[in-house]
Every structure is written in C-alpha cells, then in structure tokens.
Structure 1
Amino acid sequence: MPDPSRSSAPPHPWWRWAIIAAAVIVLAAAFGYAGGWLAPDRLTPRRIIDGLQQDSGVYPGYRRNHAKGVCVAGYFEGSGAAAPYSRSAVFGQVRTPVVGRFALPGGNPYAPDSSVPIRSFALRFNLANGQQWRTGMNSMPVFLVATPQAFYEQVEAGRPDLATGKPDPKRMAAFFAAHPESGPFLAWVKTAKPSASYVTESYSGLNAFYFVDAQGQRHAVRWQVVPEARDDAGTGPAAGDGDYLAGDLQRRLAQGPQRWHLMVTLAGPGDPTNDATKTWPADRATVDAGTLVIERAQPQDSGPCRDINYDPTVLPDGIEVSDDPLLAARSAAYADSYLRRTGEEAHLPGTAHPEDKR
C-alpha cells in the first residue's frame, strides 16, 4: 500500500527538467520542419526567394520581387456602401490614411519601365483604432498559377540560361504545357502593353478574402481599385526613357491628387475562393466602397513605404483570409525578403538603421 507521506512530496527536480527538455525538442522539430531543415525537399519561403534571386540577381537592400518602385501617400474616403458586409471601421464614412507603393514585377530595380506590361500597387491602411489593412494588387485580371508549388516551378522554369542569359523557351513551354490553369493569364499577356502611367491602371487583389459583417456572417469578396484618370493610350513614352513612370506620376500629382474607386465584388454560389487563376462571372454584385486619393510621392529609398512589408494577411477585424493557398505563401515569402533586404541595408555604407527595424 502506498505511503501517504511520500505521495505529497514534490517531484524530483530531474522530472521538471525532463518536461522542459521534451518541450524544447518538440519546438525545435517544429521550427526545423517549418524551415525545411528536416525536410530538404519541402517548399519553403527561403527556396522561393532564392529562386527569385537566381532569376533576377541580387540587389542588396531591395525587395526580391517588385524591386523597382515609388512611395505614395494619401487617404481612403469610405462611402459606407461596404459597411453592411464588413464591420471594419475602414468601410464607414470616414477618412483613413494610407501609405502605398507603385512598382514593377521582378527583382531588378534598374529594369526599364517598358520591360513588363504589369504594374503593381500596394497599400497600407492605418485605421483610427490602431489596426492595419495591407494589400498588394496587380494590373492583370488573373494570376499565373494557383498554388505555391506551381509558382516555384514557374520561377525555376524561368531561370536564365548560362549561355544566353535568357530563359530557355523549351523549358518555359514545358512548364505551361503542364499547367493549363495558366491559360487565362497567357491569353491576357499576349495583348497586354506596358502602360505609360501608374495612374491610369486598374489594380486587382486577385486573391479572394472574406468580409465579416456585424452579425458575424462571412461574405467572400475580391477587390479592385479603378482609376478616375483614363488618358493613357497604353503606348508608352519616347524610346530611350526607361524611368518614365515615376516622372509621369510626379507631373500628375503636381496638377492635383489622383483618385481610384475601391470596387468590392461579392462572390456568388460556387465561385472559387481558392484559385486566383479563375475569374468570377461579370454579373456578380459590386459595391463602390470608397475613394482612394493619392496626394504625394517620394523615392522609395527615403519614402514611408521603404520599411513596410505589404503582407496581404495583415488584416483588420472585419476582413479574413480565404482558403487560397497563395496567401500564406505570400506572407511567408514577403517576410523572408524583408529580413534579407533590411539586414543588407544595415550594412550598406552610409545607410542608417531605422529605429523600427531594431
């Protein structure tokens, strides 16, 4: 029969240390798996960013994708039309400050503006209650692929050949043959032309999200900002001007603020929320959630957007991520890129290390 006097004694110290050690081992294994150390063939953010670097080269202190850009700032004037679908304060009839960034895809910050037909627009909404909404949008109707693995395979297929310095057409053709979901993007890009202005472009979020209303009901949505300015013929400037977009932006802003309307599309039954390669039918209900107003621009090396990671999963109460697998992958890859470039900036000659990076 057990001795009651012994059952109340505290456990031996080794027992506690064993529990702590076991916990450390479990955590280490979890981090090892997340980092790919215990599963070298698993796709990780590091592998994605390494692949982007191999395609474009390494430019210390710059983003690994959308490296060439310009900072902008202004505000969003909510119309109240989206308030029935989302309880977020940003959709009330209020003014919310924004810090944004126009950019080109690719990792080369010196690429000519005419080198690609796609422009991007990232925004951070700074809500009065201290919450943030970050979003990254592109001037195309659909994304190239539906999954992170397919994106990585596309990056690998686009790696420049050592002999030519350009992607191997046969390798790219093989990739697209294996990924028929890229068909809508390829059909669009065949006729797309580099625009002569950031200001005249529409920018789409591409991924689906959920708005959550005051009753807790979720509504699947996609959003797009549509410009008021429409005076771009889409032909580009005179030959030899590789940096015309920033100059055009400054000239337009000198004449007054530039405006876009935030158009939110509500999904219908059966509309996919997990596949950014598929559009929703054109007859879906759309609400004008408000007006985005850009008032000023600054170079990205000194402007307010420089140290912002435009992670699309940073959302305020009233907006939630969907089941689109690209969202989590974008978040993780952006974080890896951010840590690399800010660490490099800290070691560049004559570059101060901002307080908010410490």
Structure 2
Amino acid sequence: MLKIKIEKTAHPKPKPTGPLGFGSVFTDHMFLMDYTADKGWHDPRVVPYAPIVLDPAALVFHYAQECFEGMKAYRTAAGRVQLFRPDKNGERLRSTHERLCIPPIPVDDFVQAVKALVAVDKDWVPAEEGTSLYIRPFTIATEAQLGVKASSAYQFCIIASPSGSYYPTGIDPVRIYVEDEYVRAAPGGTGAVKCGGNYAASLLSGEKAHRLGYGQVLWLDGVERRYVEEVGSMNCFFKIGGVIRTAPTAGTVLPGITRMSCIELLEGWGYPVSVAPLPIEDVMRADEDGTLEEVFGTGTAAVISPVGELKYRDRAAVINGGRIGPVTQRLYDTLTGIQYGRLPAPQGWITEVE
C-alpha cells in the first residue's frame, strides 16, 4: 500500500457555475509519483494543482514515451461518490507501460492513487444529471537525454476535471465517416495501448471527416483496409441480423472498459455476441438487405453513442432511420444506471470513494 502524503491548497479555486464543458476546468489538486532506477516508484503525493516543470531534453518531448487513461467519478442521488471498474483502467495502464518500456505500477496502487485524489477533491464531483468528474491519469518520461532509448526516470500524474453531460439535450446519433486511406494502427504497433501517438496519427482523418460533415472516423485495419476496427475515441458494435458484432482487440484495437462491460451485459441478457473480424463490405451489404439493425460506439466519455449514419466511399448507410435502437438504449440506461447508483452493479464493478 502506498503511503500517500497530502498537501492541501491554501488557495482553493471557485467551483465552476453554469453548464460544464469538458476538460477545460481542473480541480484544486493533482496526484504525483516519481520513478528513478535506484528507488523505483516513490514519493506518492497529492499536491495543489500546478504546472509541471521539465527539462527541455526530457525524453517525452522527443520520443513520445508517454501514455494515459480516462475514467470518471460519479455522484449518486444519495451523495456518494463512486468509480466504475477502476481496476480495469489500472490493468490497462500496466499493459500500456509494459508495451512502452515504462516500469509498471501495481493495479492496487493505481486504484489507491485515484481514490486519494478524488477523496481530496470530492466537492468537485458535480451532482447535476449526466455530469461527472473526468479523471486523467498519465505517465511521462522525464530523463533529460537526447537519445532513442527507454527513459530511466518517469512521473505518474493524475488530474481531474468536472465535466458536463455528453448529451445535454438528449442522445443524438452521430454520423461516421469510414476512413480507407489513412490507418490508425497496424499489427505489431501500439494500437492496443493508450498512448498519445495513436491520437496524433488520427487527427488528419478527423479533420477530413469534419469537412465532409461527419463527427467521427471509423478506422479499417492497416493491412487490407477491409475490416472495421474502432471509431476515434470509441469501440464500435454492429447489430446485424440479430447478432451483435465487434472487432477483436488483437493488437490494433484498444480494449475499452466500456466495451468489455457491454459484452458482459449483452451475453448476460442472452444476445449472441461475435468478436471476430468484420469486413466493411458486410456492413454495407447488411444495410442494403435490411439486416443492419443498430450501430453504436462505446467509451468513457459518451458511455454509449448511437450511430445514425455510416459513410463509406460513395455509399451512405442510414441506421434505424437515424434513431437510437432498443439494444443501444438498453445498454446506455443500464450502464449509466450502474454508474450513478440507480441500478445494482455486478460484483466488483463499483468502487466507492470515502
């Protein structure tokens, strides 16, 4: 167990008023922990939120040795604050560290660190419908050395930001552009881990999609440009002929926590779920023959995001008349019900912050 030192700010910031956005206002404190080769991970602490000072030669700037997680704290109607499956975020961060040659952080230590920061900044967890405290753990290489190698020093940090409802006016299905020119990830690369380079590589396609009037990009595989993979910041599911299909997380697709939870719920409800490669042509053919019933994305930010339209080359598939489907709605209602304490949670899904 970590021995976390806590230094509270002498100058607390005013809480935001009015509608909350996303990721622009931050709480009073942050969690920090350092790594050096001689000490390992050490000096865990919650301190006042402040800039991080780094040497210009820090390896994170030059060779992108860094990674992050995304998760939320929710306030229930009874005023309790709880986390949704934080151990799974800790497991994924550990996997990411191993892929990027960063010394791993034990999952129990990760969860303890998140709980410590949220406990100190508990008053920042908003109570309005659909709001939450977004939590961003991240790790950066801090050794000052211009040379392509794994760093010998790191800093692990957690910051938090009160966030508004993803759907302030109701769930609005998103329009998605299928990218077949650029690729997000290739076998053997870093597609299955949460590092910033994956997102930097996606920006150009995102801008192209927005110019064409689409809100997100659906990526195809990096070898044949044939199989659907994931959507920007979400995993993606397709209900075709009664079967719910999603891409395997076999090295090029991020293993989403919400994705995992949806599969477990769907299987528990008796729906057939296929985790296997799915050609985009099969999706478009299903639209043509009327068997493409629902498409939805899953992720921390939106939880469940219905897809109303898919654009692939010169073809556009309008799903379920551009409206949210019944399975999509059931998943959204169930997951948000669990997260906000309105519904009972499966064993181990909820961690309360005291």
Sort the TM-score into its range (normalised by shorter chain).
under 0.3
TM-score of the pair, normalised by structure 1: 0.22
Larger Rg computed on CA atoms:
1
Structure with greater strand percent? 2
Structure with greater helix percent? 1
